[in-house]
Amino acid sequence: MEKKSNPLEGDQLQLANRKCLLRLLSFLDSKLPVSCAVHSLVNAAVSTENPAYRVYFRRQHVSTTSTSLEDEFSLVVAIGMERFINSRQETKKSWFLSAWTNEDDGMLADAYKAIDIIDWSLDIVVMHHKNHAPHPTISHFIASKQTMGHCYPCDQYVLSRKNAVHLQIREMDGVYVKSLERCHAQTVYDYWPYNEGTTVENVAKEIEELPSAGVFLTDNDKLMSWMMSHPPNGMSRLHTLQEYRRRGYAALVTRSLSKRVA
């Protein structure tokens, strides 16, 4: 049984309650942009209260009197869960996992080991690390679980909150921008190249719970370009229909969503 935390007690790995989630979010704000992936998962846990998001932490200091956030936490692990249908039409779980620590990254393996809701041999686990390759200790842990996996180096681009808030959104003739709705989930899913790891319902839930933006034709309300929040990637699933490309719609939807998220 996972222990929900009192945010002012203990230094063991704990499952954060809502009070602690708010404190963790403030703490991770000070660690941006390094913490951006785990920050997006914690933010989703706070804003949605969806149990698919879970956040674990270990405290730096055991103190019942300190109110300072500085160096309060030594480790934060955030996870998000989605369900998908495999080729045998079986419902499986996929986990998105990201972490921040002020210790050696090898310490994360012990934290992952303590999170017992993941079936490392059967579930799909997408792990985000600050370096292109995981720490050798984490690689050894994955191997010990007999988990089949691949390492895909990728980069995450960031814009400071201050700059994003002050973005100027230029209006364009014949189109308007607004949030996506549940009815757009099928379209987003159909054009997402990696949709084998999710379902239309998962996409719909993210549209309902998290910020998104779409560019629509004024004449008939047709959706032409879109982007949505997808923790821990941040803003993701950007796509413009082929016949509407090279008109600046992707830039418009990216700037609009950036400002809203900020």
Question: Which runs of consecutive H residues, i.e. helices, occur in the chain?
Answer: 18-29, 36-48, 108-114, 136-144, 161-165, 185-191, 200-209, 249-261
> Is residue 208 packed enough to be buried (19+ CB in 10 Å), middle (13-18) or exposed (0-12)?
middle
Residues 6+ apart with CB under 8 A from 259: 164, 165, 167, 169
Task: Write the pLDDT tens digit of every residue in 31-55.
Answer: 999 899 999 999 999 999 899 999 9
Order across the sheet with 235-240: list the strands: 175-178, 212-217, 223-229, 235-240
CA dihedral 180, 184, 185, 191 (to 10 degrees): -110
Q: Flag whether pLDDT at 197 surpasses 90.
A: no
Q: Decide: 69 and 27 in contact? Cβ < 8 Å.
A: yes
Amino acid at position 212, single letter: S
Query: Smallest Cα–Cα separation from 39: which of 126, 161, 153?
Result: 161
Task: Report yes or no: 71 and 100 within 8 Å, Cβ to Cβ.
Answer: no
Please give the pLDDT value at position 63.
54
pLDDT at 7: 41
pLDDT in tens, 165-181: 999 999 999 999 999 99
Q: Give the pLDDT of residue 185.
A: 98
Domains and their CATH numbers in the chain = 14-145 (3.40.630.30), 161-261 (3.40.630.30)
Tell me the per-residue pLDDT of 64-110, one tens digit each, with 9 for 90 and over. Answer: 555 555 568 999 999 999 998 888 888 889 999 999 998 888 889 99
Most confident option among 2-6, 62-66, 115-119, 186-190: 186-190
Residue 10 has pLDDT above 70, yes or no: no
Per-residue confidence (pLDDT) for residue 69, from 0 to 100 = 57
> Nearest-CA neighbor of 94 among 200, 204, 236, 198?
198
Q: What is the residue-averaged pLDDT of the chain?
A: 89
- Peptide bond before 232: cis, by omega within 30 degrees of 0? yes
Q: Which of 114, 8, 117, 115 shows the shortest CA–CA distance to 63?
A: 8
User: What average pLDDT does this structure show over 192-219?
Assistant: 95
Which of 96-110, 198-212, 234-248 has the least mean pLDDT? Answer: 96-110
The three-state secondary structure class of 127 is strand
Residue with more model confidence, 241 or 7: 241
10 Å CB burial of residue 200 (0-12, 13-18, 19+) is: middle
Question: Is pLDDT of 9 > 60?
Answer: no
Residue 203 pairs with which residues in a beta bridge? none
